[in-house]
């Protein structure tokens, strides 16, 4: 299938791009994954298109069901809140539990298409906070039993029946401005459940992801992010409704997160996504970046990460690292209801092209073969050292600007209703 996609350039000139739509499958190692938050229907489509319709797009890799908005009572029962007719309330159930047999079928369908389906805990409204180690452990066990590999004994209410999602995402926004002291315990508990005998007997690739604000470190998630504390497979970083959005080039701080991935992440292969609004109306406090510009930002971030990989460990000359790890993972859009098939196809194609470009340019940072002569090698090393100096200087400037601005960032709800 071929789409003609029209993108507006900064000069206002319409750019026509032919996009051949082919089948893609999720690969956590790749740098061109496209993720969509689904469930809140912030575009107020009537009705919200079903999950299946987005899984029919071969260029979409990850669907994030949004949100488990409440952890009810001392038992921390997870209550799903989706703006979809595919779920209905269970009469007289504690906290307003729902059943979603049609959505369960869509989740199974998405998996046959090679998609990953996550369920996100959090959102803008209060009701999912945890105040103790016991509550953190209880919440992790309840989510495991309700949406993942446990609770299939007929006692636990499972909105999707025996259908499992692929993991849990943490979009933690309340209480605003307070460190989430107990979230590392939640993450450790659910990770241990993934690795338990029960977890291994079913799926072996459950995921733990999070959607932090772009200011590093996100306040609520900071205890989990620091000092190799908690395991994350992917981060969908919200580069909008914040000073560090791509619309503020001097404050855009993807490299700061990439440095965390390289030096401070418990998972040495964690993947980082640029979280972006799919429409100006999806980000009331600002940060929308037109797709052409967003793909340019993504391309530069990919190349920065690829260059840093070669200079692993802060060496003054290229290391010719054999590692293929690049922390850039793709783009995550809030939310699916604002996107079209053409929009996500253009995103996938742009990310794929950018990755190929970043890899092809990487040869200029590699150390020359000694057989080419000592003078040529010295020249390459000197050029490489200059490149590192420029990269470090730019990153230092960005970090300084971000540090100066952090105290002024309002931590109230920014984007999700």
Residues labelled catalytic? 173
Residue 157 CA: distances (Å) to CA of 73, 78, 91, 92, 167: 15, 10, 12, 13, 18
Q: Quote the tokens at residue 25.
A: 């499958």
Nearest Cα residue to 51 out of 135, 134, 111, 141: 111
Q: Are strands 14-20 and 2-8 parallel, antiparallel or unpaired?
A: antiparallel
CB 398 within 8 A of CB 253: yes
CA 30, CA 246: separation in Å to the nearest integer?
Answer: 22
Residues in Cβ contact with 136 at an 8 Å cutoff, skipping those fewer than 6 apart: 130, 182, 183, 185, 186, 189
Q: Are 222 and 177 in contact (CB under 8 A)?
A: no
Cis peptide before 47 (omega within 30 of 0): yes
């Amino acid at each position: 299938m071929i789409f003609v996609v029209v993108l507006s350039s900064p000069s206002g000139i319409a750019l026509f791009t032919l996009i051949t739509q082919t089948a893609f499958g999720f690969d956590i190692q790749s740098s061109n994954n496209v993720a969509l938050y689904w469930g809140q229907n912030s575009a107020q489509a009537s009705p919200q298109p079903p999950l299946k319709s987005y899984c029919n797009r071969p260029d979409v890799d990850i669907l994030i069901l949004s949100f488990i908005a409440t952890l009810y009572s001392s038992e921390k029962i997870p209550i799903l809140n989706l703006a979809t007719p595919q779920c209905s309330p269970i009469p007289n159930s504690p906290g307003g539990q729902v059943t979603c047999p049609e959505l369960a079928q869509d989740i199974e369908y998405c998996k046959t298409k090679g998609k990953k389906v996550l369920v996100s805990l959090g959102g803008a409204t209060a009701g999912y906070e945890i105040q103790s180690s016991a509550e953190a452990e209880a919440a992790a066990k309840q989510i495991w039993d309700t949406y993942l590999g446990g609770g299939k004994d007929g006692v636990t209410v499972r909105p999707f029946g025996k259908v499992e999602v692929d993991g849990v995402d943490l979009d933690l926004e309340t209480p605003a401005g307070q460190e989430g002291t107990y979230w590392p315990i939640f993450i450790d508990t659910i990770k241990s459940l993934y690795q338990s005998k029960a977890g291994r007997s079913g799926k072996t690739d459950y995921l733990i992801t999070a959607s932090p604000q772009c200011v590093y470190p996100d306040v609520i998630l900071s205890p989990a992010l620091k000092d190799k504390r908690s395991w994350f497979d992917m981060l969908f970083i919200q580069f909008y409704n914040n000073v560090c959005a791509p619309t503020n080039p001097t404050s855009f701080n993807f490299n700061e997160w990439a440095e965390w991935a390289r030096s401070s992440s418990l998972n040495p292969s964690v993947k980082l996504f640029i979280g972006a609004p799919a429409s100006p109306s999806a980000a009331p406090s600002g940060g929308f970046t037109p797709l052409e510009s967003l793909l340019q930002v993504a391309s530069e971030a990919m190349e920065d990460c690829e260059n840093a990989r070669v200079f692993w460990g802060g060496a003054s000359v290229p290391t010719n690292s054999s590692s293929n790890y690049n922390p850039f993972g793709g783009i995550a859009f809030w939310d699916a209801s604002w996107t079209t098939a053409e929009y996500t196809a253009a995103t996938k194609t742009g990310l794929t092209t950018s990755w190929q470009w970043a890899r092809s340019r990487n040869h200029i940072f590699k150390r020359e073969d000694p057989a080419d002569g000592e003078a040529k090698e010295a020249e390459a090393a000197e050029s490489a050292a200059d490149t590192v100096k420029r990269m470090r200087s730019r990153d230092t400037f960005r970090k300084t600007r971000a540090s100066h601005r952090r105290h002024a960032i309002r931590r109230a709800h920014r984007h999700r209703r």
